[in-house]
């Protein structure tokens, strides 16, 4: 299943970046009565990806120069290649439910 970038979230305490991905695009161009506008689209499931810096083998931090390299040109709604959302549930420290993402 193709995944799309929904949001980049950074933990304010640790600075660790995580990528929230969705099973379909969360924004799209919609036309109603001949007028085009951007709108949010209902998504069935979200997944969570934490990237490891290949140079340091540590979780990717926003302050890490590799963060800029990794996210260059990345936009909300872009395809997030190389991952798929599984059925395995994960919860963050606020109890938010996410599905586990795995590299394909």
Q: How far apart are CA 95 and CA 104, in angstroms?
A: 27
| pLDDT for residue 17 | 92
pLDDT at 41: 59
Per-residue pLDDT of the chain (104 residues; tens, 9 = 90+): 678 888 898 989 999 998 888 876 666 667 778 887 666 655 566 777 888 888 899 999 999 999 988 888 888 888 888 887 777 877 777 777 777 777 77
How far is Cα 72 from Cα 21, in angstroms, rounded to an integer?
Answer: 17
Chain centre distance of CA 69: 16
pLDDT score for 89 = 78
Q: What pLDDT is stored for residue 5 in this prediction? A: 86
pLDDT at position 44 is: 62
pTM: 0.69
Largest CA distance in the chain: 53
């Amino acid at each position: 299943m193709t995944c799309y970038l929904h949001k980049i979230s950074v933990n304010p305490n640790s600075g660790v970046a995580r990528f929230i991905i969705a099973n379909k695009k969360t924004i799209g161009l919609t036309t109603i009565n001949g007028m085009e506008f951007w709108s949010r689209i209902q998504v069935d499931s979200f997944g969570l990806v934490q990237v490891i810096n290949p140079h340091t083998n540590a979780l990717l931090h926003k302050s890490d120069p590799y963060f800029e390299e990794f996210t260059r040109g990345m936009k909300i709604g872009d395809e997030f290649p190389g991952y798929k959302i599984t059925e395995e549930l994960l919860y963050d420290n606020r109890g938010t439910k996410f599905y586990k993402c795995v590299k394909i």
